[in-house]
Amino acid sequence: MKKYLQIYHDLLNDIQAKKFKEGDLLPSDTKLVMKYGVSRETVRRAIKLLFDEGYIQTIRGKGSIVLNSDRVMFPFSKIESYKELVTSNHLHSENKIIKIEEPTDVPKNLLFGAPNIATQLIVRKRIVNDLPTVLDYDYINTDVTGIVPKQAALNSLFFYFEHDLGLKINYAIKHITVELADYDDLHFLEIDKHIPIVVVRSETRLADNHILSYTESRHRADKFSSVEFARRHE
């Protein structure tokens, strides 16, 4: 384990376990240097990570103040699998496969001008607290993953990619819009009129910059909310 990540996780655990409460000061750089027996730069790397993610506020001359992190929870700016999201928010959820197609073309409005690739389409319905809430269309780059087994789609695609295939997911670009429900939304989300749908279209890439997948997530707008942490900087 990298030393700075060890320190980061130790501090984050203590913050999330409320051992440090909102407004408390974290131990100073010097104290952490002594506790862990590392150099100051290594401590500062851990502190910087907590700062960047909105857990603490560092003030020169004073220390690192713990912020209220209850609200930093489901940002667009994090890549989280649906499974992770459901688990960390203690939701009751089901997963249904609607259709699997292979090979398929990626729709043009997902490509944003990028060249088409050979993909496998997996369409899934997410049922949260007994209410159909999200419709997911995953176009998976079969050159990278091969054919995805049905069981992986039922459980968690990300888990399959990362743990079973050993792929390293790196970043995603997400386009967010609000659109009216189409006929598939009406049918699969079991709604009876054209209520708004939050549409998140994303392109996910691996550490080697290869495209892993294109995804379209269609959320019932009335069941949708997101919290973002944003910093102002030079």
Partner DNA sequence: TCAAGGAACTAAACTAGACAAGTTTTTTTA
Partner DNA sequence: TAAAAAAACTTGTCTAGTTTAGTTCCTTGA
Give the interface with DNA as residue ranges (CB under 7 A).
2-5, 26, 28-31, 37-42, 44-45, 47, 58-64
**Applying CB under 8 A, does 16 fall inside the site for a copy of itself?**
no
User: Which of 85, 111, 144, 172 is close enough to bind a copy of itself by CB under 8 A?
Assistant: 172
Residue 227 site contact among DNA, a copy of itself, none (CB < 5 to 8 Å, cut-off depends on kind): a copy of itself
Q: Is 198 in contact with 219 (CB distance < 8 Å)?
A: yes
Report 91-150 residues binding a copy of itself (CB under 8 A). Answer: 112
Residue 170 site contact among a copy of itself, DNA, none (CB < 5 to 8 Å, cut-off depends on kind): a copy of itself
Residue 77 site contact among DNA, a copy of itself, none (CB < 5 to 8 Å, cut-off depends on kind): a copy of itself
In terms of CB distance, is 35 or 187 closer to DNA? 35
Cα distance between residue 37 and residue 43, in whole Å: 10
Long-range contacts of 59-64 (CB under 8 A, 24+ apart): 62/25, 63/25, 63/26, 63/28, 64/25, 64/26
Residue 31 site contact among DNA, a copy of itself, none (CB < 5 to 8 Å, cut-off depends on kind): DNA
Rounded to a whole number of angstroms, the minimum distance from the CB of residue 37 to DNA is 7
Residue 25 tokens, joined? 């000061």
Nearest to 57 by CA among 30, 31, 78, 26: 26
In terms of CB distance, is 4 or 139 closer to a copy of itself? 4
Report 19-48 residues binding a copy of itself (CB under 8 A). Answer: 41
Count of residues interacting with a copy of itself (CB under 8 A): 42
Q: Using the Cα atoms of residue 47, residue 50, residue 56 and residue 58 in order, give the sign of their dihedral.
A: positive
Rounded to a whole number of angstroms, the minimum distance from the CB of residue 142 to DNA is 22
Amino acid at 99: K
C-alpha to C-alpha distances, 25 to 13, 64, 90, 234, nearest whole angstrom: 15, 5, 29, 26
Residue 169 tokens, joined? 């997911």
Cα distance between residue 153 and residue 159, in whole Å: 10
Nearest to 115 by CA among 196, 207, 210, 226: 210
**Applying CB under 8 A, does 221 fall inside the site for a copy of itself?**
yes
User: Which of 33, 38, 76, 186 is close enough to bind a copy of itself by CB under 8 A?
Assistant: 76
In terms of CB distance, is 101 or 228 closer to a copy of itself? 228
Rounded to a whole number of angstroms, the minimum distance from the CB of residue 102 to a copy of itself is 25
**Applying CB under 8 A, does 63 fall inside the site for a copy of itself?**
no
Q: Is 95 in contact with 66 (CB distance < 8 Å)?
A: no
Residue 112 site contact among DNA, a copy of itself, none (CB < 5 to 8 Å, cut-off depends on kind): a copy of itself
Phi and psi at residue 71, to the nearest 5°: -90, -15
